[in-house]
Amino acid sequence: MADGSDEDKRVIPGPRPAARLGNLKDIKPKAHLSWTEWCAEYGPVCRVDLGPLGDSVLLGNFDVIRKAFEDNSDAFSARFVLPIAEKDGTRGTMTWENNEVFDKRRELLTTVMKQVDIEKLARNEATAICEVLNKNKDSSSDLVYRLMEEANLNMISTFCFRREQRCPYDDPNFCELKKRIGEMNKKLKNLMAEPANLFPVLWVFYFGFRRARKNLRCLVGKELETHKETLDATSVRDLMDGYLTKAGGIEFPAEECLANIMNLMGATITLKNTFQWLLLLITKHPEVQTKIQDEVTSVFGDDTPTMANVDKLPYTNATIYETLRFACPATQFVPHATQADAKFEGYDIKKDTVVFANIWGPHRDAKYWDEPEKFNPDRFLDSEGKLDLNKESYIPFGLGKRRCPGETYAKNAMFIFLANIYQRYGFQAVAGETLPDVADGVINIGLHNPPPYNLKIVVR
Ligand code: HEM
């Protein structure tokens, strides 16, 4: 039995591993539930044996995640490159790379995000969403659920390679892109738990995935050729232009531009999931829906909602922040790795150890949140009804060097979509059907999303 001395603390506690497979068989499909249970039992720094991948370290509360990713950022900011990502080719992708030009790649993205009018992209998309809702105003189906996927994909592809000109949803180019992405995602259900991560020889059986990815690369590659032919170096209107004009300060090979764009289309699935959670949770709480509608109407009337008035809609914003806490779309994070030997919380952690951060834990930590299991946007408002973001234990976009570079893009899109939609529409559960709860969430491509649901559209 450990007596708490420094000597005893050197072995990181964790669930007992089985021979060969370690704790792999004990990890639930919703890994964050296992992480939360283990951290409650063994403490906020736990060891989880990943069998062929070796020991990993699991960080389970805000304090240790902040210490690792912010205070010890140099040691904890590498990415653990999943074997499946490595096979697929990580070169050039922001999510998976750990090299000396990583900062430049991030700089390129953030520079282009400042040059492109993200708000306009979101507004155009929101207008298109409202047109579809209007044409289908008698619908009681999964239309809204599907529409959020299309809108998200359309917005990121417009940002990446359509020079601010979105495609209509029925445009053959958009339909083909959607088909290609769908084919690829269907073949890769759970990024982390794919068998080829544990036994890389199984990669030979991922033929369908490789073919789908090649098709997508070919499609995006054609856009790059068109960009090269029509480049106007004085005006960067999308990420491809940014690559071609060296907006990050250095030149990246064309192949890396394609890889990063395909990677970004994956990274934004978190935003699609958040849209789907938002509409679901708002519909499940009619009083929240009414407050959002009233707020949007009182500020904008019939005028088009813009970011200029974002501060005047505290309740709408509070609902977005509460959804990110409560549904935790990025719950499993992409794993980090140590890039040097580290001494952390009294433990010796070796270089190249996989590090998981469980944001589900901090977002439901009763030490920081009253009734954490309750969906309650009011917790993000102060006593005067103003937005209060001064919260600890709240890290939906991560922390430190690997913090999400799409945060502003995502916040703009969420606000503009919600304000535009609820200005004119509301939603109800379909008679006789029960809407899913957050407990019904599923893990898809390593992210937490609601299962498909139907909604009845209500015109205001
Ligand atoms: C509500 C929507 C979103 C949420 C909750 C979210 C959350 C996160 C989280 C938690 C991480 C991991 C941070 C870490 O490992 O320390 C991440 C990484 C990342 N996100 Fe997002 N994200 C969202 C939307 C977006 C969007 C819209 C984009 C792009 C336009 C984006 C691009 C990325 C990229 C490229 C990374 C990897 C960064 C790196 O490895 O350095 N995300 N995101």
* Residue 31 token pair: 């890994």
The answer, yes or no, to whether any atom of ligand 1 lies below 6 A from the CB of 362, is: no
Distance, C-alpha 251 to centroid of its chain: 28
Q: Given this model, what pLDDT does residue 251 score?
A: 87
Q: How far is the CA of 120 from the centre of ligand 1 (A)?
A: 21
DSSP conformation class of 232: -
Are 328 and 396 a contacting pair, CB within 8 Å? Answer: yes
Q: How far is the CA of 268 from the centre of ligand 1 (A)?
A: 7
Instruction: Please spell the DSSP secondary structure of 409-422, one letter per residue.
Output: HHHHHHHHHHHHHH
The answer, yes or no, to whether any atom of ligand 1 lies below 6 A from the CB of 95, is: yes
Ligand 1, atom nearest to 334 Cα: 15
The answer, yes or no, to whether any atom of ligand 1 lies below 6 A from the CB of 329, is: yes
Ligand 1, atom nearest to 399 Cα: 16
Using alpha carbons, select from 134, 177, 171 the residue that is nearest to residue 152: 177
Return the sign of the alpha-carbon dihedral for residues 211, 212, 213, 216.
positive
In whole angstroms, what is the distance from residue 301 CA to residue 287 CA? Answer: 20
The answer, yes or no, to whether any atom of ligand 1 lies below 6 A from the CB of 270, is: yes
Beta strand segments in 218-352, E: 336-337, 342-344, 347-349
The answer, yes or no, to whether any atom of ligand 1 lies below 6 A from the CB of 160, is: no
Q: Cα torsion at 360, 364, 368, 369 (round to 10°)?
A: 140
In whole angstroms, what is the distance from residue 189 CA to residue 197 CA? Answer: 13
In whole angstroms, what is the distance from residue 57 CA to residue 355 CA? Answer: 5
The answer, yes or no, to whether any atom of ligand 1 lies below 6 A from the CB of 404, is: yes
Q: How far is the CA of 264 from the centre of ligand 1 (A)?
A: 9
In whole angstroms, what is the distance from residue 441 CA to residue 153 CA? Answer: 21
The answer, yes or no, to whether any atom of ligand 1 lies below 6 A from the CB of 277, is: no
CB atoms within 10 A of CB 448: 23
Ligand 1, atom nearest to 97 Cα: 40
Q: How far is the CA of 270 from the centre of ligand 1 (A)?
A: 7
Q: Given this model, what pLDDT does residue 320 score?
A: 98
* Residue 128 token pair: 């298109």
Using alpha carbons, select from 386, 344, 423, 274 the residue that is nearest to residue 12: 344
Q: How many CA atoms within 13 Å lie on the side-chain side of 252?
A: 32
CB atoms within 10 A of CB 389: 9
Using alpha carbons, select from 453, 377, 459, 441 the residue that is nearest to residue 147: 453
Using alpha carbons, select from 335, 334, 353 the residue that is nearest to residue 343: 353
Q: How far is the CA of 328 from the centre of ligand 1 (A)?
A: 13
Using alpha carbons, select from 262, 283, 319, 239 the residue that is nearest to residue 96: 262
Ligand 1, atom nearest to 414 Cα: 1
| Buried b / exposed e along 431-441 (16+ C-beta atoms within 10 A) | eeeebeebeeb
Using alpha carbons, select from 12, 20, 35 the residue that is nearest to residue 362: 35
Task: Give the mutation target among 239, 270, 360 for probing the ligand 1 site: most ligand atoms within 8 A of CB.
Answer: 270
Task: Give the mutation target among 148, 328, 404 for probing the ligand 1 site: most ligand atoms within 8 A of CB.
Answer: 404
Mean pLDDT by 10 residues, the chain (460 residues): 50 94 91 94 96 92 96 91 77 80 88 95 97 94 96 96 93 91 75 77 83 87 93 91 89 87 88 97 98 98 96 98 96 86 94 93 96 98 96 94 94 98 97 97 88 96
Q: Given this model, what pLDDT does residue 1 score?
A: 36
